[in-house]
Amino acid sequence: MTENQIKNYIQEEFKNQDNSKLLGIVFFGSRVKFSEEELKNSLNSDYDIGIIYDGEIPDFNTPEDWDLFLWSKEKWLKGFALQVELARYAKILYDPEGIIQKQFQFIQEKILPFWLGYIKNF
């Protein structure tokens, strides 16, 4: 599945959500981090997809090979540990209000320079 297909699939599913608005889509994990050659050696490489929404938790069907993460706008803006990893490797597939990019930029400028030095100590 291509990045465009992922984005289009999620946008289509959100058309059926009456009380939820799609704010962003993040694609991450092994399919983003590694090359096609490296992925060939992996038997179980799924699609890791993060969705930021506003309103009620969206309810829709996803393909079996997806690990879907749903984050409310409030949770996204408060921040959480996984965002540090996302800021390093994730691809932004949809971000019309720029909330993903703003969070990533903050992490990349204020946290990652210190985080990476900290991790090297282990």
> What domains does the chain contain, in order, with CATH numbers?
3-120 (3.30.460.10)
Residue 82: its pLDDT value, please? Answer: 92
pLDDT in tens, 22-50: 999 999 988 888 767 766 666 667 899 99
Residue 122: its pLDDT value, please? Answer: 45
Residue 33: its pLDDT value, please? Answer: 82
Evaluate whether 70 touches 24 at the Cβ level (below 8 Å).
Answer: no
What distance in Å separates the CA atoms of residue 113 and residue 118, rounded to the nearest whole number?
9
Per residue, the 3-state secondary structure of 48-103, as one string, reads: EEEEEEEECCCCCCCCCCEEEEEEEHHHHHHCCCHHHHHHHHCEEEECCCCHHHHH
pLDDT in tens, 53-96: 999 999 988 999 999 999 999 999 999 989 999 999 999 999 99
Dihedral over alpha carbons 90, 107, 109, 94 (to 10 degrees): 40
